[in-house]
Amino acid sequence: MTNAHEDNIFVDVDLVDGLSIEEYLSLLLPLLDNSVYSTVSELYANFTDIYDTASDIMGDAIFVCPSYGLVHAFEDKGRKGLFAIPPAYHGDDLGYYLPSLSLGVPPYNNSAFDTAFVSSFFNFALANNPNMRIDVPSIIPFWPTWSNGSQEMLFNCTEDFLPDIHAFQTADIQLERCR
């Protein structure tokens, strides 16, 4: 499980302001060859804002890409999820996993979502399968394994604050950036 905006809290807006992607990378990883900076710049060319680009590079390097390595390691047993309840920063999902942590009321307070989110992990821990409904009914649809077409489960809400939980195809560009 990764968060949609894992990375935003790890990039200093003032530091990256006015930099190119290559300049940012050379500050972040000064021992890499210039050709690597150029390749990474091409992979993130669809971003127009340096802060968003730097944030995604940081998030991919630290959280997102390693998570794909983990699901690959478990072959047809791994599952991948994306927590996207706004703002979906690193750590924003903790209150949903363990509501008793007393982290305050989560920004999205919906009992159907809460039950679906936490029960999928408990079901996985108890039965090695988030699709096994052990104790409570859930709105979560079938959660495919990663090998089943590179699908992830999205945990989000609609603009009308209804739960939005569904499987989606991982974007090819995301997979390319993580190779």
Residue 2's DSSP bridge partners are 82
For residue 159 the two structure tokens come to: 């603009």
pLDDT grade for 102, boundaries at 50, 70 and 90 = low
Predicted confidence (pLDDT) at residue 123 exceeds the cutoff of 80: yes
The answer to whether the beta carbons of residues 5 and 59 sit under 8 Å apart is yes
Q: Which residues contact 131 (CB under 8 A, 6 or more apart)?
A: 123, 142, 143
Whole-number pLDDT of residue 105? 66
The pLDDT of residue 100 is 76
CATH no. for 2-178: 3.40.50.1820
Beta bridge partners of 157: 163
Instruction: Say how many C-beta atoms besides its own lie within 10 A of residue 111's C-beta.
Output: 8
Residue with tokens 């530091």: 15
As a whole number, mean pLDDT of residues 95-108 equals 77
pLDDT digits (tens, 9 = 90+) for 8-64: 899 999 999 999 999 999 999 999 999 999 999 999 999 889 999 999 999 999 999
